[in-house]
Chain A
């Protein structure tokens, strides 16, 4: 099985700063990339999807994809304490399996 790697953290940033979360994947043929936010004890919530190289912005969130480097990132601008959660990277691998592969997540702590 191919892999999706994330630094487990915690990543600690002060309120108002930019949080940068990173994810690498092993399957070069991957086509679809997703970021989920998961609060403690809750289920994951989809916050961003990206399918082509470059940046995609949605409010305070920006997803960045670089297929050549097999790297996808999530930037959170003006971080708020309510952004404190675990962020999961998920990839649709080009293996014929119609399901996502998830990384283990990065825990983000935004300090007020």
Chain B
């Protein structure tokens, strides 16, 4: 059963703590992406990776970090430098780095208090 998994579904953290969101895919997709969605708004690109061991900043990369050590995995760390980390985080993947159809995981809702 192929797909994209994100864990956990809900995450609560205290301000000042770093937190890592998991994203795994078994679709054999080359490219992976992280987006952030705030209430009533569209998706904003945080980071993306076209191949293993390579990634690029998106539009709102400040306060976030990623790694791509395996094709299947693209974890996102929300650091204490991110000023407004509370949001819905979405991971996506696409077959080719040319960014054709992207498919999304179920998302992680992060709340920082």
Distance in angstroms between the alpha carbons of A101 and B33 in the assembled complex: 12
- Checking B99, B103, B106 against A98 with a beta-carbon cut-off of 8 angstroms, the contacting residue is B99
What 0/1 pattern do residues 39 to 52 of A give for CB contact below 8 A with B?
Answer: 00011111001000
Q: Does A49 contact B106, Cβ atoms closer than 8 Å?
A: no
Q: Does B43 contact A42, Cβ atoms closer than 8 Å?
A: no
Given A1-B59, A99-B33, are A43 and B45 neighbors across the interface (CB < 8 Å)?
Answer: no
Q: Count chain B residues whose beta carbon lies closer than 8 angstroms to a beta carbon of A.
A: 26
Q: Does A32 contact B100, Cβ atoms closer than 8 Å?
A: yes
What 0/1 pattern do residues 34 to 72 of B give for CB contact below 8 A with A?
Answer: 010000111111001010000010110000000000000
Q: Does A103 contact B42, Cβ atoms closer than 8 Å?
A: yes
Q: Does A42 contact B106, Cβ atoms closer than 8 Å?
A: yes
- Checking A32, A49, A102 against B43 with a beta-carbon cut-off of 8 angstroms, the contacting residue is A102
List, in ascending order, chain A residues with CB within 8 A of B59's CB: 1
